[in-house]
Chains A and B, each alone.
Chain A
Amino acid sequence: MKILSLDPRVTRENIDVETRDGELQPLEHFETYEVFEQRKRGTHHVHVGNVHAPSHELAMVFAKEQYTRRGQCVNLWVVRTSDVFVTEYMDSDIFETTASKKYREPDSYKVIDRINAFKAREAAKNA
């Protein structure tokens, strides 16, 4: 049997993905959902992967089993992949910065020197 797609239903239903007209219908091909896991209350949700599912509810059920089994998790988000808006890599120059803007970055404040100086003073005091 020729494998037509990584989605087993495409092969089982013998759907011609190359030449057929129109989009795959929802029952022929599940959508993907992005999964975000929270390790501890109050911390950020972190993207951990995605799942195929026919609904948000089953995406949640699958995400729990795929991504939270071995780690600690207190909360999950699932978001339909098609609802995520992304930048284009060709626009990645918008993230570039110039040396003259350095003063706007938190790391241009020389606070680490003052922290080290404070630590040295404390160490000297306790010595």
Chain B
Amino acid sequence: MEFTEKHVEGLKDLLYRMADDLLILGHRNSEWTGLGPILEEDIAFSSMAQDKVGQSLALYEILHELGESDPDTVAFTRNDFQFHNCQMVEFPIGEYDFSLVRHFFYDHADALRFEALTETVFEPLQMVTKKFKGEIKYHTMHANSWLKQLAHGSEESKIRMQQSINELFPYALGMFEPSDYEQELMESGLFIGEAALQQRWLDVVVPTLESYGYTVPTDAAPLFGGRKGVHTEHLQPLLDEMTEVFRIDPSAEW
């Protein structure tokens, strides 16, 4: 079918959601570098943070081909209200339980979103999702292994993990905030839509957590806003820090 302007707008909105989530969470998770609980985990978590920033670059490049500004300009010169990331990814890293649960919720959603997009009619995006398949599979393996381990670690570890699950779940549902283009994305075969993705995510995340012995507050109401540029007070300071060097000389060649 022919793409109308609305289809392209919907596609761009989808790409911004994905890329901004990856950039912001990649930056957040990199704050653990040097502070991880043990050396091996420090290296693994830092490496996955870098993967996320790399994946965001690939998506910003597609946006550039669709007429948006170049990746550096898009990543480093927007203000918080111009970002499409969900609110969950912008919270400070907190304690390690919080960061691990966020990583678990986010990376399963990311894996399923990429998997769904291996069938998108928009070929450049299809190529990107195939390219990162192995990386993302490792991220979910890592997340599952920790969630399982800490469910059986000590009484304290289980309580802490459960608290973070309860705290983050409404924000995790916010990842699937509907866009203004759901109909266009679905009818054109560009994307399965946020509602279908959320169902796939619940089908994976809920039984997995329950099998480890956690409970999932499935009746929680989703907390929306991020996808429409409504953010918490935590995003702008993150952007200020992330762009600090870039802003000294935006025209510098790296």
Question: What residues of B have a CB within 8 angstroms of the CB of A53 in the complex?
Answer: 40
Chain A neighbourhood of B142, CB < 8 A: 61
Bound CA span A44–B142, Å? 26
**A27-B154, A65-B44, A65-B47 are contacts. A57–B39 as well, Cβ < 8 Å?**
no
Chain B residues within an 8 Å CB radius of A80 = none
Taking a contact as CB atoms under 8 Å apart, the answer to whether A57 and B145 are in contact is yes
Contact indicator A69/B47 (Cβ below 8 Å): yes
Chain A residues with CB under 8 A of B41: 62
Interface size on B, residues (CB 8 A): 17
> Per a CB cutoff under 8 Å, which of B43, B141, B146 touches A66?
B43
The chain A residue with its CB closest to the CB of B141 is: A61
- Total A-B residue pairs with C-beta atoms closer than 8 Å? 41
Could you tell me the distance between the alpha carbons of A64 and B44 in the complex, rounded to whole angstroms? 9
CA distance A58 to B142 in the complex (A): 8
Chain B residues closer than 8 Å to A8, beta-carbon distance = 37-38
Per-residue CB contact flags for chain B residues 34-53 toward chain A (1 = under 8 Å, else 0) read 00011111011001000000
- Indicate whether B237 reaches chain A with its CB closer than 8 angstroms: no
| A40 beta carbon closer than 8 Å to chain B | no
How far does the Cβ of A76 sit from chain B's closest Cβ, in whole Å?
A: 12
User: Which 9 A-B pairs have CB atoms at the shortest separation, nearest pair first?
Assistant: A62-B40, A65-B44, A57-B145, A61-B145, A51-B40, A58-B145, A61-B142, A65-B43, A65-B47
